Structure 1
Amino acid sequence: MKMLFWNTYRNENINSYVLDLVNKYEVDILLLAEYRSDIEKLDLLLKNSNQALVRCNTIGCNRIEIWSNYSDMSSGLQTDYYSLQVVKHELIICGVHLFSNLRGDKSYERLEKAKEIKNDIAELGEVENTKKAVIIGDFNGMPYEEAFLYANGLFGLPVLNQYDKNTKKVNGTEYTKYYNPMWNFFGDFNYPPGTYYSDQSSLNSPMWYIFDQVIMSKEVIPFFKQNKIEIITNGLKDKKGYPNKKISDHFPIVLELEEDIIHG
């Protein structure tokens, strides 16, 4: 199972790039944020692609569009900032596009939304009798931000052994651990060191940001192919190696899970 997420930067001519990525990476589930192109045309292109993707129901979530080649994929809660989907009643997928800091610090708002997401996933998991969950999208914050690392947020740890205890107790409250493999992209040993680049006139500016992330529950880890997660840059970067803003200011991310994560 291959999942691809991309913030398409409101590019009205993005469809050909999306189709190329879907065919090249054999994408089974496609998630897009800030999509502003011709969606009916993209629907037709994806339906007739090698992957035969069909748009999922995201009514109520205007920030995320989702396509899938799984016929048994049902919609869960849809909110302004995230869309919940369930594949064959076994795998919960949450596509997100959270608040940015464009108009001021929104870290506290992201923390509150992270709590909502985790609670809603837990509730849906109770209904579907599954703990397998993947949260993927534009988090508009770094992996070490409170919303995504702290136990009362998504608790997306940089290291989580599948045999570790599933929860951690803090001041009498149990918090469920999640795993965030995007921590592995920090630094310059491998290119690129992020999904978004911005050289701000600020004393606190890492310039490269890992805004686009995937966080998974411990139950997904045994099915996660560590060598098959990638920040895609081919054909999407400018001459300096940054995201080509004529296409998008974000690089897409793609990951692969073993197909037997779901049955039937």
Structure 2
Amino acid sequence: MRILFWNTHRNVDINSYILDIVNQNEIDVLVLAEYMAEINELNDNLKQCKKRLFNWNTKGCERIHIWGNYIDVTPGEQNKYFSVQIVNKQYIMCGVHMYSNLNGEHYDERVALAEEIMYSIKHIKQRLQTEHVIVIGDINESPYEKACLSAKGFHALPALQILDKGSRTVYGKEYEKMYNPMWNLFGDFKYPPGTYYRVESKLYNPCWFMLDQVIISQSMIPLMVKEQLKIITKCGKGVLYTDNRYPNSNISDHFPIMCEFNI
């Protein structure tokens, strides 16, 4: 399963870029946030792609659209900020687009939303008797911030092995661990250092942010194809960045991300 996520920045002319990236990378599941282009056109063209992607049911979710080439797909909870999908009755996939800090800080609200997402997923896991979870989307904060790392949020650790203890106890309450492989793409040893760039007149401003992430359950770790975890910066139509090598907001202010699992 090769998954692509992209926050398309409400660009109404982005369909050709989406289709190019989907075809070039032979994507199985496409998850979009802030999609405002011509959806019927995209639907028709995705059906003609190499993998033939069809629109999944995300009714009730305002911020996420999902397409895929899997037939056995059942929608789980659909919230304004997230869409849960059950693939082949055992893989729980959740596309998310969480609160932004553009109009004020929302760290606590994102923790509460992450807790709500994990609560929803927990009930599906119990019902299906599965442990396989993929959360992908625009978290709107970096992996080292509260919603990602807090045990009450995604509890998504930068390092987790399949043989490690799968949970952690805090003040007598047990919290399941998740794994965030996006930590491995941080920094300037390899371009790009993040998925989003923003300069503000603040004392705290990393400039580069890893807002777009994939977070997985411990059971998915051996299934992940590590070399296919990528931030995509170019396609057949050209590069997705400016001359300064920042995301080109005329296309999107976010770079897309891709991941793959052997399922």
- The C-alpha deviation readout for 1:214-253, integer Å capped at 9, x for no partner, is 0000010010011110000012111111101110000000
CA distance in 1, matches of 2:210, 2:179: 15
CA RMSD of aligned residues (A): 0.7
Pairwise CA distance, 1:125:
1.0
Pairwise CA distance, 1:102:
1.1
**TM-score normalised by the chain length of structure 1:** 0.97
Aligned: 1:27 with 2:31: no
User: 1:17 matched to which residue of 2?
Assistant: 17
CA distance in 2, matches of 1:226, 1:48: 28
- The C-alpha deviation readout for 1:53-87, integer Å capped at 9, x for no partner, is 00000000010000000011111100000000011
CA distance in 2, matches of 1:247, 1:134: 27
User: 2:173 matched to which residue of 1?
Assistant: 173
Aligned: 1:86 with 2:86: yes
**TM-score normalised by the chain length of structure 2:** 0.97
Match of 1:255 among 221, 242, 259: 259
Match of 1:240 among 244, 250, 260: 244
CA distance in 1, matches of 2:116, 2:248: 33
Q: How many pairs does the alignment contain?
A: 259
User: 1:6 matched to which residue of 2?
Assistant: 6
User: 1:55 matched to which residue of 2?
Assistant: 55
**Pairs within 5 Å for 1:211-226:** 211-226=211-226
SS at match of 2:105: coil
CA distance in 1, matches of 2:228, 2:50: 20
Pairwise CA distance, 1:187:
1.4
- The C-alpha deviation readout for 1:106-163, integer Å capped at 9, x for no partner, is 0000000010011111101112221100000000011111111011211100000010
User: 1:195 matched to which residue of 2?
Assistant: 195
SS at match of 2:100: coil
SS at match of 1:22: helix
Pairwise CA distance, 1:184:
1.1
Pairwise CA distance, 1:49:
1.1
Pairwise CA distance, 1:210:
0.3
Q: Name structure 1 gaps, 5 residues minimum.
A: none
CA distance in 1, matches of 2:4, 2:18: 10
User: 1:38 matched to which residue of 2?
Assistant: 38
User: 1:108 matched to which residue of 2?
Assistant: 108
Pairwise CA distance, 1:201:
1.2
Instruction: Letter of the 1:26 partner, please give it.
Output: E
Pairwise CA distance, 1:7:
0.2
Contact between 1:83 and 1:96, CA under 8 Å: does it hold in 2? yes
CA distance in 1, matches of 2:152, 2:112: 9
Pairwise CA distance, 1:202:
1.0
CA distance in 1, matches of 2:187, 2:18: 28
Pairwise CA distance, 1:103:
1.0
Instruction: Letter of the 1:7 partner, please give it.
Output: N
Contact between 1:168 and 1:177, CA under 8 Å: does it hold in 2? yes
**Pairs within 5 Å for 1:69-84:** 69-84=69-84
CA distance in 2, matches of 1:118, 1:192: 30
SS at match of 1:20: helix
